[in-house]
Homo-oligomer: A and B are copies of this chain.
Amino acid sequence: MPKYFAKVSDEHVEHIREYIKRFTAHPFAGTPTGDVLADATSSEGKMIRPRLLMMVSEYGTCRRDVQERLYKLGAIVEMTHLASLIHDDIVDDAPFRRGKPSVQHKYGKSAAVYAGDFLMSRISYYLMLEGQNRSGMILSKAVEEMCAGEIGQAMCRYQEDVTIRQYLQNIHGKTVALFMACCRIGAMESGCSEKTITQLESFGECLGYMFQLRDDLLDFTTEQTVSGKNAHQDFREGIYTLPVLLAQKKPGGMEALHPFMEKSAAGTLTGRDICEMEGLVAELGGMTETWDLIHTYQKQAEMLLEALPSREVSSSLRKLIGKLGAV
């Protein structure tokens, strides 16, 4: 995935990394959990969520006064994301994460459970120590939505009658909620007006959808070498993403895709099946229409930016959504 956020808000990232280091200092050296935490926190994550939080805070009136507070919150949203990745790997039994062996695969369930729980306890601790209750409550609600999204997705696995509405609900929980929380927190803490906060939160919503839809498309088309995992991992695991669901809703789509879904559930998909399925979905317009939805969110995000007061950061945000919307 291209570095959408590269060079944007780079000057803040080092500060945020410092806080992550401080907030996650732990007594588990030499244990699998210690290794998990070292892995998770040292990985060259793109820091997308804290970067977004910092960028959005440029719309506020008191941004400079609350700089350190924002860095700390940036660290905490990234820790939230890390905790969710670690716990997701338990559920998925995924062998890879970010191109490296997954925590769960490498260190076992126990290490993954407690590394995630440890991060969550530190998040709570520092939010309360810093008196960041308002932002903390927004974040807790986002975590709750993340649970709901993951559960919704688990319930839909291998179900051939998943609706597009259900799919969108699931990715809203899994991904979009935390993007929205980052925007709301960045805007609120930097002193934006209630109207601007709501607009920026909606901007985060568009961005979150674009991000996840792109990610789903990426899984649908990319080779192992680029994403670090096999292409079509979702389909293999019975997670039918938008391209598949859109194709399935076309005349004849249901019948055409059924044999592949049946094989996926039975675990008997071959490489050839995957190629055929991909061809079929493309032919039925599943991929183009997913791009259409990405572009709908892009337009919406652009309109929201137009309506916001102009700031130096506005052009960076415009570029960012441009990159996310580029085919």
- Interface SS of A by simple majority: helix
**CB atoms of B133 and A147 under 8 A apart:** no
A256 within 8 A of B: no
Stretch from A60-68, A109-117, A220-228, A311-319 contacting the other chain: A109-117
Q: Whole-angstrom distance from the CB of A141 to the nearest CB of chain B?
A: 7
How many A residues, CB 8 Å from partner? 42
Which residues of the other chain, B, contact A320 by a CB distance below 8 angstroms?
Answer: none
The count of identical subunits is 2
A125 with B151: CB separation less than 8 A = no
Query: Judging by beta carbons under 8 Å apart, are B131 and A143 in contact?
Result: no
Residues of B within 8 A of A137 (CB): 125, 128-129
Contacts of A87 in B (CB 8 A): 113-114, 117
Q: A87-B117, A90-B90, A117-B146 are in contact. List 9 more A-B contacts (CB 8 A).
A: A27-B148, A31-B154, A32-B151, A33-B151, A110-B151, A117-B120, A121-B141, A122-B144, A124-B136
Top-8 shortest CB links A-B = A125-B140, A121-B143, A128-B133, A91-B110, A114-B147, A124-B140, A128-B136, A118-B147
